[in-house]
Amino acid sequence: MHIPDGILSPTILAAGAVVSVVVLAKSVQESKKNLEQTAVPIMGVMAAFIFAAQMVNFPLLGAAASGHLIGGALAAYLFGFWPTTLIMTTVVTIQAVVFQDGGISVLGVNILNMAIIAPLAASVVYKLLRNSKVPVSVMVFIAGWVSVVVTAAFAAIQLGASHVVSYQLALQTLILWHAIIGIGEGLITGAVVPFARRSSFFLGGREERIR
């Protein structure tokens, strides 16, 4: 899901960067008000964990393709949307600058997709299912899957708007692959959440808190 340099149009790159800067400014404002210093190491650990997990591409059975975790649904479940944007932005920026994973000119768009859209989509799922009878494991699986597919749809729209390929082809192809990859995202998110709960890795340490 890391978009390289040279593919999207300058207009889309600029638009992505502007939206990301505006949202991140709001994220910083939110954390100035709400982010306790005691929560910072816990979030840092989760950032490091997500960086590590993103390195492990899992094969898509029967296809010469792979996928890897984004982690937006995982962090959003534990910390809520605004803190998650900071975690994911740290990961995506280090990947682009230090490891050449995701283009530097695309950094704004990659942040928009993986650090903002993915956790936002997951947070919407959490909001919708919070008061339902759906078990946590099922809810985080759904949130993981939805976050990947919605992010893929945005990536496809960015390709279409850049006149790289038609919207229809981009949407079909990207959503198809990521509907499969999303299963991996859902399963990993569902597997990690119980361990994070056991470690009380929630913002403010309050169990069952979903913001």
Site for another protein in 88-147 (CB under 8 A): 90-91, 94-101, 103-105
Q: Which stretch binds another protein (CB under 8 A): 38-46, 117-125, 126-134, 138-146?
A: 38-46
Is residue 61 close enough to count as binding another protein by CB under 8 A? no
Q: Which residue has the tokens 């997500």?
A: 50
- Which residue in 10, 33, 62, 208 binds another protein (CB under 8 A)? 33
Question: What's the closest the beta carbon of residue 79 comes to another protein, in angstroms?
Answer: 11
DSSP letter assigned to residue 208:
T
* Kind and range of the H or E run holding 58: strand 58-59
- Which residue in 10, 63, 131, 208 binds another protein (CB under 8 A)? 63
Which residues from 164-183 bind another protein, rule CB under 8 A? 164-165, 169-170, 173-174, 177-178, 180-181
Rounded Cα–Cα distance for residues 93 and 104 (Å): 9
Is residue 13 close enough to count as binding another protein by CB under 8 A? no
Q: 136-155 burial, b if ≥16 CB within 10 A, otherwise e? A: beebbbbbbbbbbbbbbbbb
- Contacts with 127 (C-beta within 8 Å, 6 or more apart), sequence order: none
DSSP letter assigned to residue 172:
H
Q: Which stretch binds another protein (CB under 8 A): 14-22, 49-57, 121-129, 131-139?
A: 49-57
Question: What's the closest the beta carbon of residue 132 comes to another protein, in angstroms?
Answer: 29
Is residue 11 close enough to count as binding another protein by CB under 8 A? no
> Which two three-digit tokens encode residue 100?
């050449």
> Which two three-digit tokens encode residue 52?
């590590």
